[in-house]
């Protein structure tokens, strides 16, 4: 269920400013998006897994807060990121 090291490095390479950039908002949002999509697939098969559902909702909330922060600080970067990730419909 968790993101393995190879996937993390790919996400960091794509969204980070360098290979050690794990703390920027863009990288954090991309990591959360990957985890959310994996947990959503898990929840489709395991509808009664309420602990995972709670964790999923907390991740969605954290991603929402990070997106609002990014929108406030860098509007063009926010627009590019949501387009790349395919979120916000």
Element (H, E) at 44: helix 25-45
Q: Comparing C-alpha atoms, which of 22, 25, 6, 7 is closest to residue 81?
A: 25
Distance from C-alpha of 62 to C-alpha of 73, rounded to nearest angstrom: 17
Tokens of 26: 């863009």
- Other Cβ atoms within 10 Å of 57 Cβ, number: 12
Residue 1: what pLDDT?
60
Q: Of residues 3 and 68, which shows the higher confidence score?
A: 68
Residue 16 has pLDDT above 70, yes or no: yes
Q: What is the pLDDT of residues 28-67, one digit of tens each?
A: 999 999 999 999 999 999 999 999 999 999 999 999 999 9
Q: What is the pLDDT of residues 76-89, one digit of tens each?
A: 999 999 999 999 85
Residue 2 has pLDDT above 80, yes or no: no
Q: Comparing C-alpha atoms, which of 22, 10, 16 is closest to residue 77?
A: 16
């Amino acid at each position: 269920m968790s993101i393995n090291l190879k996937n993390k490095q790919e996400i960091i390479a794509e969204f980070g400013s360098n290979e050690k950039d794990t703390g920027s908002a863009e990288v954090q949002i991309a990591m959360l998006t990957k985890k959310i999509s994996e947990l959503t697939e898990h929840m489709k098969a395991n509808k009664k897994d309420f602990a995972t559902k709670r964790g999923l909702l907390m991740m969605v909330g954290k991603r929402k807060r990070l997106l609002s922060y990014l929108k406030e600080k860098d509007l063009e970067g926010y627009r590019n990121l949501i387009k790349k990730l395919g979120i916000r419909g």
